[in-house]
């Protein structure tokens, strides 16, 4: 036994059933890398003798192959989640792809494949957002497949489709296809309002995303009404998620400013900053986005001194980061220079915090 392929044959032949080849390959490779990082076959007397680590990897692969498909799928999904928690999305993708492959073998249980495909698509999106990898198009393809299978299995209006529609809409939004995203969000909202009620947290989370689309379309009144409803839902929750309130007030401040109410926009952004400070502390880099937006709103209102103070504080926090973001610091300094020379226009980058339940950010280049 000189390599993983030989280990695979041994593991596969030890079982009484033949499983998907690729899944078993993942298993043998996974356990080989887990137990044999630096181990190799010990050679002596013209014959190969397995190391202790290699034997352990074979035993784990054999155990994996002998377990039921559902157990193997759940184990792969568990490992994928473990890597997601560590933000190691490359490894999470490998493990989740293994779960998808196993789910494909269970033709009588299509719901497993739908769930695992959805999880895989989410990992592709997370990797795109964390490292800007070109995985967003792959995520769209995966979600489309999950939606097609889900529609065939559950029906076009079933509650299981809401999360898939939400994720697919988010992908289209990132790709700049807001009309398609708006349509998909609308389908998800109709399902959730029917199943969970108009004031549920899940509905509010999608309404926050829909408000961001209306904001880009400059339909400020519609966006404002949606965000005020979102804020009311979050505040009224039995266990209020105060970490989401800064996001809501951030967006609300930008919306009312876009509608021409600059003073109210500044007040709301200050409220977002106070809430963020209460959560993270006064020296947290999490405040940079709020300070940057607050500085921009001060500049819109002609309060140049206050705008400069906000940007200087944001720059100080950016310099304190353990891992400095050179692009962020360069943008902040460029904006500060424009503010100090009074040549600042509305071309400064604003951050519209989208997707309430995840807290991701997208940039808005202009407020008219």
Asked whether 253 and 293 are in contact (CB, 8 A), the reply is: yes
The 10s digit of each residue's pLDDT in 296-346 is 899 888 899 999 999 999 999 988 876 766 778 888 888 888 888 876 665
Asked whether 108 and 66 are in contact (CB, 8 A), the reply is: no
Q: Report CA-CA distances (Å) from 315 to 325, 333, 335.
A: 11, 7, 11
d(CA 169, CA 156): 16
Q: Kindly tell me if the per-residue pLDDT of 104 is higher than 50.
A: yes
pLDDT value, residue 13: 38
Mean pLDDT value across residues 137-146 = 93
Give the mean pLDDT of the chain: 78
Confidence band (pLDDT; 50, 70, 90) for 161? very high
Confidence band (pLDDT; 50, 70, 90) for 87? confident
The 10s digit of each residue's pLDDT in 22-78 is 444 445 455 444 444 434 444 444 444 445 555 555 555 555 555 788 888 999 999
298 membership: H or E segment, kind and range: helix 288-300
Entry pTM:
0.73
Confidence band (pLDDT; 50, 70, 90) for 8? very low
pLDDT value, residue 194: 95
The 10s digit of each residue's pLDDT in 257-275 is 989 899 999 999 999 999 9
Fold of the domain built from segment(s) 234-368: 1.25.40
CATH 1.25.40.10 domain locations along the chain = 234-368
Closest by CA to 288, choosing from 229, 349, 367, 339, is 349
Q: Compare 244 and 10 and report the one with higher pLDDT.
A: 244
From first CA to last CA, the distance across the chain in angstroms is 68
Q: 3-state DSSP call for residue 364?
A: strand
Closest by CA to 114, choosing from 122, 124, 125, 103, is 103
The 10s digit of each residue's pLDDT in 119-133 is 999 999 888 876 666
Q: What does the radius of gyration of the chain's CA atoms come to, in whole angstroms? A: 25
Q: 3-state DSSP call for residue 182?
A: helix
Residue 309 phi, psi dihedral angles, 5° rounding: -65, -40
């Amino acid at each position: 036994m000189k390599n993983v392929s030989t280990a695979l044959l041994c593991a596969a032949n030890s079982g009484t059933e033949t499983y998907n080849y690729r899944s078993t390959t993942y298993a043998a490779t996974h356990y080989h890398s887990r137990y044999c990082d630096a181990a190799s076959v010990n050679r002596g007397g013209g014959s190969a003798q397995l190391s202790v680590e290699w034997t352990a990897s074979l035993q784990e692969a054999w155990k994996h192959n002998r377990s039921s498909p559902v157990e193997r799928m759940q184990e792969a999904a568990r490992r994928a989640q473990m890597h997601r928690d560590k933000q190691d999305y490359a490894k999470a993708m490998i493990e989740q792809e293994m779960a998808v492959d196993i789910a494909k073998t269970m033709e009588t249980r299509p719901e497993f494949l739908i769930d695992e495909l959805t999880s895989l698509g989410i990992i592709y999106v997370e990797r795109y957002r964390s490292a800007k990898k070109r995985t967003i198009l792959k995520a769209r393809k995966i979600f489309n497949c999950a939606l097609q299978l889900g529609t065939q299995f559950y029906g076009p209006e079933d509650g299981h489709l809401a999360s898939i529609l939400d994720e697919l809409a988010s992908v289209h939004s990132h790709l700049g296809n807001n009309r398609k995203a708006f349509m998909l969000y609308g389908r998800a909202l109709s399902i959730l309002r029917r199943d969970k009620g108009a004031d549920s947290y899940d509905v509010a989370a999608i309404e926050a995303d829909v408000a961001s689309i209306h904001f880009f379309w400059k339909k400020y009144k519609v966006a404002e009404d949606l965000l005020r409803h979102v804020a009311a839902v979050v505040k009224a929750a039995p266990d209020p998620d105060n970490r989401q309130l800064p996001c809501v007030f951030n967006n609300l401040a930008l919306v009312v400013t876009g509608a021409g109410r600059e003073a109210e926009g500044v007040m709301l952004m200050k409220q977002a900053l106070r809430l963020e400070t209460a959560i993270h502390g006064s020296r947290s880099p999490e405040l940079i986005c709020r300070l940057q937006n607050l500085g921009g709103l001060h500049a819109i209102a002609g309060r140049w001194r206050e705008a400069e103070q906000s940007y200087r504080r944001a720059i100080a926090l950016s310099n304190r980061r353990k891992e400095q973001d050179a692009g962020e610091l360069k943008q902040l300094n460029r904006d500060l220079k424009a503010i100090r020379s009074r040549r600042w226009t509305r071309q400064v980058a604003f951050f519209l915090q989208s997707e309430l339940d995840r807290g991701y950010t997208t940039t808005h280049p202009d407020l008219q």
